[in-house]
């Protein structure tokens, strides 16, 4: 009774689908979160009568054959890199990327992580850091006597010093791009790591061809569409119920066989 195991694979697939959808909904207010989508593939097939095999000594062949599928499997949980909306915060250290690219962050381990969450802050030494205290690469230090911070579209960090006219350039934000953004490894805390699937990063200043620009006083919101996620949730629930019905029906059929006298 293959339908028992086939229905079980369907229930497991939809369980994962619901988990992905619930993760999207849970992060609907997470800065720069990129929604995920589960993708599935059919499992192997059993050839009860192989298509194209000879059906007689006269060189006739089987035109269709008999293939029985064995269910479904998860192929990938794909990250959709569509940009979210930009929301105004008016915080001078909040910056959003309008277009392609990632900020670079130095981890305590010495590795470089990547993020689109530009909710930066200053530590006790005036260094520009993430909310977890990780240094934004390249390192930028704001003088203690700075009275105003301005970050232009090209990523130049300009400050006004108390008692001085004009502005001083104290650093330059850089962005990184990858050949395959979906291949980045999510490690939590809005951070990603380079992998062989993502390729090596190309870095440049914002506004360079192919790279986004910087918007000061804005943050990128999640790209989760709540209405779409609720619709997907209902669809996954119905699919789960139908697969459970397959198992129930198969069990009733087996009970009929065992009750034969």
Amino acid 261: pLDDT: 65
195: Cα within 13 Å, side-chain hemisphere: 12
According to DSSP, the residues that pair with 203 across neighbouring strands are: 176
- pLDDT per residue of the chain (261 residues) written in tens, 0 to 9: 788 999 999 999 999 999 999 999 999 999 999 999 999 999 888 888 888 787 777 778 888 888 888 999 999 999 999 999 999 998 999 999 999 999 999 999 999 999 999 999 999 899 999 999 999 988 899 988 888 899 999 999 999 987 777 888 999 999 999 999 989 999 999 999 999 999 999 999 999 999 999 999 999 999 999 999 999 999 999 999 999 999 999 888 888 888 876
Amino acid 67: pLDDT: 80
Angle among Cα 159, 117, 106 to the nearest 5 degrees reads: 75
Amino acid 202: pLDDT: 94
Q: Which of 193, 212, 210, 225 is nearest to 96 (CA)?
A: 212
Cα–Cα distance for residue pair 242/193, rounded to 1 Å? 39
Q: Which of 46, 47, 37, 111 is nearest to 75 (CA)?
A: 37
155: Cα within 13 Å, side-chain hemisphere: 28
ω before 211 within 30° of 0 (cis)?
no
> Torsion angle, CA of 191/192/193/195, rounded to 10 degrees?
170
156: Cβ–Cβ under 8 A, 6 or more apart, which residues? 169, 171, 172, 173
Amino acid 51: pLDDT: 82
Phi and psi angles of residue 179, each rounded to the nearest 5 degrees, phi first:
-65, -35
Supply the pTM of this predicted model.
Answer: 0.85
What is the full DSSP assignment across 36-84?
Answer: EEEEEEE--EEEEE-TT-B-STT--B-SS-EEEE--EEEEEEEE-----
Amino acid 103: pLDDT: 95
Amino acid 165: pLDDT: 78
Amino acid 216: pLDDT: 94
């Amino acid at each position: 009774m293959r339908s028992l195991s086939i229905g079980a694979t369907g229930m497991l697939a939809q369980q994962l689908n619901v988990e992905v959808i619930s993760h999207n909904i849970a992060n609907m207010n997470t800065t720069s979160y990129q929604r995920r989508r589960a993708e599935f593939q059919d499992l192997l097939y059993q050839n009860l009568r192989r298509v194209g095999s000879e059906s007689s000594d006269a060189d006739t062949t089987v035109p269709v054959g008999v293939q029985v599928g064995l269910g479904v499997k998860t192929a990938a949980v794909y990250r959709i890199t569509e940009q979210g909306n930009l929301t105004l915060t008016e915080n001078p250290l909040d910056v959003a990327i309008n277009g392609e690219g990632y900020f670079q962050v130095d981890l305590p381990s010495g590795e470089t992580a990547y993020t689109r969450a530009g909710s930066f802050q200053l530590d006790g030494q005036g260094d520009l850091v993430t909310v977890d205290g990780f240094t934004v690469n390249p390192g930028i230090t704001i003088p203690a006597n700075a009275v105003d911070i301005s970050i232009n579209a090209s990523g130049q960090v300009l400050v006004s010093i108390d008692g001085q006219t004009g502005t001083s350039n104290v650093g330059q934000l850089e962005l990184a791009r990858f050949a395959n953004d979906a291949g980045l490894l999510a490690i939590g805390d809005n951070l990603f790591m380079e992998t062989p699937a993502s390729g090596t990063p190309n870095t440049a200043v914002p506004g360079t061809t192919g790279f986004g620009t910087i918007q000061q006083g804005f943050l990128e919101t999640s790209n989760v569409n709540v209405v779409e996620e609720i619709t997907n949730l209902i669809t996954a629930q119905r699919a789960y119920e139908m697969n459970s019905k397959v198992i129930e029906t198969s069990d009733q059929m087996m009970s009929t066989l065992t009750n034969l006298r």
